Amino acid sequence: MRRIVILVLLLAGIAVGAGIESQRAAVSINSNKMSDSTFRASLQALAENSGTRCYFSTIYSVPPHSAGGRDSVISTTAAQWANTVIDGYAIEAYAVKHHLAQSASVLAQTKVSLLAQLSSQAKALKLNCPGTAQQAFASFPKSAQNLLIRSTAASQELVRRLGNAIAITVPNLTAYYEAHKSSYDTLCISVAVVPQIQLSAFHADQLAGASVKSLVAKYSIDAQSKAKSGSLGCYGPTSSSYATVRTDVAGQSLNSFGSSPRPITYNGVTDGLYVAVTSRSTNTFTSVEQLVASDLQAQNSTSASAVQNTLLYKAAVSIDPALGRWGLTNSGPQVFVPGVPAVGKFDRTTLRLVLSQFAPTYR
């Protein structure tokens, strides 16, 4: 579930308008492009300006680092930014093709409402952002501001046509949390790294009722986690790996590995990574407000995802290889983060990296 409706419902999407630029493009879609300098300037605004980072933070699974320049922003953030740019161009093209409202007066009103809603959203989520939404918006390059307004106006019109979005308000967030409370538990997990040749035997023992501990002891090739019965620690909603862990164990019973492993590369060979929840504890609404808002935005974007994917399937997209690669996931086309090199050992740090970086389809 991704970004067209995110642009208006959380008002955190940032895209860059097509201009006449002589530099190579960081991102291009059809005849539109964003130059490398504009791309870096936008990321730098997020990295250096705490107010900008705060007002626009809900677009990111992992926030940018607190320093300047593109190198200070992690690869996942750069890939997400590239996705946002591509989506911005796509929805603007949709607006032009279908004659959605883009008059000067509409765009002027869109900017006013965008800034007002950025402020109200930050207040509703108790973010206490320094400065104002106007200052945060102004920190981006002018071309970024222009396309942000145009794509937001197009998104608003698309939402009106769809007619089934849920407003991001505190009462709605609270109601959503109460209906999905277990989705925000802190999860303590165990893992098993299983050679491909043993996957069938592992699955057979699962079906026979073998416990997580016994499966780890018999099959896992990761010595460090195996010494702790597979334990890898606990992940709460503020963890950068939480979204991936939560997806990996969705629908699983406590103390039970899932039936399908995640493929990972180990010494040049593909093995299977199994993840099981060994304990879980409930978190309060206050501690998970931003994650609840992110989940509600994803639900809202479901209705627009078919429109978005139709645009992106047909688009001619090109990105700087340093930012990632354009590919197809089970939820549609997107930018993948740059590949993580194959690892030669499985220590706890590497396994945590696997959980947070090797699964772009879970973003």
Tokens 């504009």, residue located: 38
- The listed range with the strongest mean pLDDT (143-157, 187-201, 251-265) is 187-201
Question: Is the pLDDT at 78 greater than 70, yes or no?
Answer: yes
Mean local confidence (pLDDT), 186-198: 92
Distance CA 190, CA 76 (A): 25
> What's the pLDDT at 125?
67
Degrees, nearest 5: CA angle 28-31-37: 40
Question: Is the pLDDT at 60 greater than 50, yes or no?
Answer: no
Mean local confidence (pLDDT), 298-312: 66
Domain locations in the chain? Answer: 6-176+287-323, 186-281+343-362
> What's the pLDDT at 198?
92
Q: Which fold has domain 186-281+343-362?
A: Chitinase A; domain 3 (3.10.50)
**In sequence order, what are the residues at sequence separation of 6 or more whose Cβ sits closer than 8 angstroms to the Cβ of residue 337?**
75, 76, 78, 79, 324, 357, 360
Mean local confidence (pLDDT), 308-315: 76
Quickly state the pLDDT bin for 260 (edges 50, 70, 90): confident
Position with higher pLDDT, 260 vs 159: 260
Distance CA 252, CA 229 (A): 19
Token pair for 143 = 């071309």
* Alpha helices, H only, the chain: 6-9, 36-48, 50-55, 75-97, 104-124, 133-138, 142-162, 170-179, 199-207, 212-219, 223-226, 242-248, 285-314, 348-357
> What's the pLDDT at 73?
47
Strand order in the sheet with 186-195: 231-235, 186-195, 269-281, 262-266
